[in-house]
Amino acid sequence: MKIPFIKKNILLSDFIFVISGIFIIIIILAEAYFQITDKINNIERANYFDRTVKLYRKHPLKQYSLNPESFRFLYKINKNGFRDIECNREIPKKHDTYRVFAVGSSTTFGIGNSGENTWPYLLEQKLNASNSGKKYEVINAGVIAYRSMHNLTDFVSNLIDYKPDALILYIGMNDIIEMTSPKFKSNYDHKSTVYWSEESFLDTVIGSVKKLLTYSRLYLKLCRRLNKNQLTLLDFANNANNEMFGSDNSISYLDNNIPCFERNLENMILLAKAKKIKIVNIKFVCSAEFNKQLKWHPEIFEQGALKINKILRDVSVKYNSEFIDFDFPQDVKYYFDVVHFNDEGNKMFANLLFESLKKIKF
Bridge partners (DSSP) listed for residue 137: 99
Helices (H), the chain: 3-40, 49-52, 106-109, 119-128, 148-157, 173-179, 201-213, 217-226, 233-237, 250-257, 259-274, 290-293, 298-318, 343-359
Which comes out higher in pLDDT, residue 3 or 289? 289
Pick the closest to residue 104 from 10, 168, 180 (CA basis). Answer: 168
Q: CB within 8 A of 165, min separation 6: which ones?
A: 98, 99, 100, 277, 278
Of the listed ranges 80-94, 239-253, 315-329, the one predicted with least confidence: 239-253
pTM here is 0.74
Residue length of the chain: 362
67/79 Cα distance (integer angstroms): 9
Per-residue model confidence (pLDDT) at position 310: 97
Residue-wise pLDDT tens digits, 5-18: 555 566 777 788 88
354/351 Cα distance (integer angstroms): 5
State the number of CA atoms in the 13 A half-sphere of 80 facing the CB.
18
243/245 Cα distance (integer angstroms): 5
Q: CB within 8 A of 361, min separation 6: which ones?
A: none
Per-residue model confidence (pLDDT) at position 34: 86
Whether the pLDDT of residue 280 is over 90: the answer is yes
147/151 Cα distance (integer angstroms): 6
Q: What percentage of the chain carries pLDDT values higher than 70?
A: 76
Chain mean pLDDT for the chain: 81
- Out of 188-197, 202-211, 233-242, 261-270, give the one with best mean pLDDT: 261-270
Residue-wise pLDDT tens digits, 91-127: 678 788 999 999 999 999 998 888 899 999 999 999 9
Q: CB within 8 A of 232, min separation 6: which ones?
A: 337, 340
Whether the pLDDT of residue 175 is over 60: the answer is yes
Per-residue model confidence (pLDDT) at position 139: 94
Per-residue model confidence (pLDDT) at position 294: 60
Per-residue model confidence (pLDDT) at position 223: 67
Confidence of residue 231 (pLDDT cuts 50, 70, 90): very low
